[in-house]
A = this chain, B = another copy of it.
């Protein structure tokens, strides 16, 4: 594979972002931004760890990899603007296959007017895609994990567990209901950028995107804010046909499944009506699923409240690398 011609084939013919001074084609990209804050995040996807050609078409591998990054920007209430892609390519992959992955990324990027402004292409034994995203926030709009406070309402957008259910359907033949819906949630997730931008305008909001399951995401907010979070077992939103799966899988997926790229957040009770307005305006369901409590000692814990009392949501499920 010739690196020069490869870069030419992924290079955009024009750039959309007015703040870009220099895109692909030099030692670095250059951005000029005066009035907004710049948000940055990076995520890496390894073949057969984070995705598989068996369950996701090449185009969707790219679409989904960028989704995970855009979702990080959503959790920061940022507007996506740029991305850089560093890719490790094994000899068994053809240039056409790699270009198809890039097409998937670029299709997703175009929904947000994002520009591909740099990257690196190297050879290796294992396909891995590392994406750096850059977005903008207004200076007074922050949605940090540390913003949760005693008495806050805990909410989540959309439904949980769908992406894992879709993955399960792809791995296990069967006669499933709403198969296309669940598979799409796995292969081509939609990060909640529009909702996040509205939520970011609240006087105080904590946001985390559900990449590793809400048990993990809630714990991150609880730790950063030095509070505990209590979730109501019977309020976790799931989609209509989610109940077709065995109970233990449902439990596993909705608390620990991840990759739904929904948003988990906390707001003060007095701002809840604004959240309801945002849900209506953006046409996205937002569900009250719990509350924030400041413990007398210790913090950073997540409890599941059910009929017979509270149980601690275990961390074991999500504290190891994946």
Residue numbers in B under 8 Å from A224 (CB-CB): 25-26
Interface residue? A39 (CB, 8 A): yes
| Closest Cβ neighbor of A82 among chain B residues | B40
Number of identical protomers:
2
Residue numbers in B under 8 Å from A207 (CB-CB): 27
Residue numbers in B under 8 Å from A286 (CB-CB): none
A31 near B40 with CB under 8 A, answer yes
A3 to B321, alpha carbons, bound, how many Å?
6
Residue numbers in B under 8 Å from A321 (CB-CB): 1, 3, 6, 89, 121-123
Residue numbers in B under 8 Å from A76 (CB-CB): 26-28, 30
Q: At the interface, is chain A mostly helix, strand, loop or mixed? A: strand
A298 CB to nearest chain B CB (Å): 16
| Closest Cβ neighbor of A22 among chain B residues | B144
Q: How many residues of A contact B (CB 8 A)?
A: 69
B38 near A122 with CB under 8 A, answer no
Q: Contacts A123-B49, A124-B128: A40 and B34 contacting too (C-beta < 8 A)?
A: no
Looking at the complex, which one of B38, B89, B121 makes contact with A33 (CB distance below 8 Å)?
A: B38
State which residues 75-126 of A face B: CB under 8 Å: 75-76, 78, 84, 86-89, 117-126
List 16 additional A-B contacts (Cβ < 8 Å) besides A31-B39, A50-B122, A86-B130: A26-B224, A28-B72, A28-B76, A28-B78, A29-B40, A30-B142, A31-B38, A40-B118, A42-B84, A44-B122, A84-B132, A88-B126, A123-B322, A124-B128, A128-B128, A130-B130
Which residues from chain A sit less than 8 Å from chain B, CB to CB? Answer: 1-4, 6, 21-22, 25-34, 37-46, 49-50, 72-73, 75-76, 78, 84, 86-89, 117-126, 128, 130, 132-135, 137, 139, 142, 144-146, 207-209, 224, 319-322
